[in-house]
Structure 1
Amino acid sequence: MHITARVDYAVRTLLELAAAGEGPAKAESLARAQAIPHKFLEAVLADLRRGGLVRSRRGPEGGYWLARPADEISIADIIRTVEGPLASVRGERPEDVAYAGAAEKLRDVWIAVRVNLRAVLEEVSLADVVSGDLPDFVGELIADPGAWSRRTVRPASYGLDHPS
């Protein structure tokens, strides 16, 4: 999975808003807190507002705040808002692609990849990350030494034991 700068900035921005609580936060302070270019952040915040994840108000008392509680916003929600589906193949949903011959079962692999992405990204909320209290299965996944290597040869059951 390739995590774009746009996704990274969106998640970090929403984590700052979750940590800030109820009151509005200025874009400038969010950009400064996470070392995000201000112009880029403004575009990301516009996407997040259109996607219903943040609210905003103009003026001296204005700023941005979460549109719903942090425990109701998953990392998957953020990715979908700024980039679209969690997994796609040439811009199509995995279930919509078809292959012939030796590649016939490749669609099943892409669907399995999506299931595993969902198993983590839909279950981890902003509140989990801010509190540092990640779901137990995340700890189990990262406890595997293979998780930290650039290339894993062990076909671990990452996410398969966790319902999606």
Structure 2
Amino acid sequence: MKISARTDYALRAVIELAAAHPQRRSAPEIAEQQQIPRQFLDSVLGDLRRAGLVASQRGVGGGFWLCRPGDEITLADVIQAADGPVTTVRGELPQDLAYEGTAVPLQKVWIAMRAGLTRLLESVTVADVARDQLPAEVIDTAASRSAWR
């Protein structure tokens, strides 16, 4: 699986806002803290605002903030806001694929992969990451030697 720069930046921006809560953060502050190109960040923050994950206010005392508590926003929510569905195959959802012949069972593999990945991403909130309190399953999996293959 490839994680796009857009998804990476969106996650980092939202995690930065979760860590700052209840204070607001300006786009330049987020860009500096997370080393994200400012123009790219502006585009990503627009996507997050349209998805209802962040809000903003201009002017003195303005900035960006989360629309919901960080423990109610999952990594899956942010990824979907930034890049659309968590898993696609050639731009299509796994359940919409139509294979022929011996490849027919492959669709079930893609669907299972999507379900597993979605389940994992829905189990981790941006507050979990901001507080460095990841679910035990994530910590255990990341620590196993097989995770690094």
Q: TM-score range by the shorter chain?
A: over 0.9
Post-superposition Cα deviations, 1:78-109, rounded to whole Å, max 9, x if no partner, equal: 00001000111222211111111110101001
Q: For 2:39, what is the secondary structure of its paired residue?
A: helix
Q: Is structure 2 residue 44 aligned with structure 1 residue 44?
A: yes
Root mean square deviation, CA, Å: 0.9
1:135-161 Cα deviation digits (max 9, x unpaired): 111122112201123xxxxxxxxxxxx
Where do 5+ consecutive residues of structure 1 fail to align? Answer: 150-164
The residue type paired with residue 136 of structure 1 is: A
Name the residue aligned to 1:152: none
1:89 partner SS: coil
SS in 2 for 1:56: strand
What are the equivalent positions in structure 2 for 1:75-94 lying under 5 Å apart?
75-94=75-94
Matching residue of 2:142 = 142
- Identity of counterpart residues, as a percentage? 50
Q: Match for residue 158 of structure 1?
A: none
Higher helix share: 2
Counterpart residue number, 1:20:
20
Query: Structure with the greater relative contact order (CA < 8 A, sep ≥ 6): 1 or 2?
Result: 2
Q: What secondary structure is seen at the aligned counterpart in 1 of 2:64?
A: strand
Report the TM-score when normalising by structure 1: 0.88
Q: Which moved more, 1:44-53 or 1:90-99?
A: 90-99
SS of residue in 2 equivalent to 1:111: helix
Partner Cα distance (2:139, 2:40) in 1: 32
Paired amino acid for 2:110: W
Stretches of 4+ aligned residues off by more than 6 angstroms: none
Alignment of 1:1-164 (within 5 A): 1-149=1-149
Give 5+ residue unaligned stretches, structure 2.
Answer: none
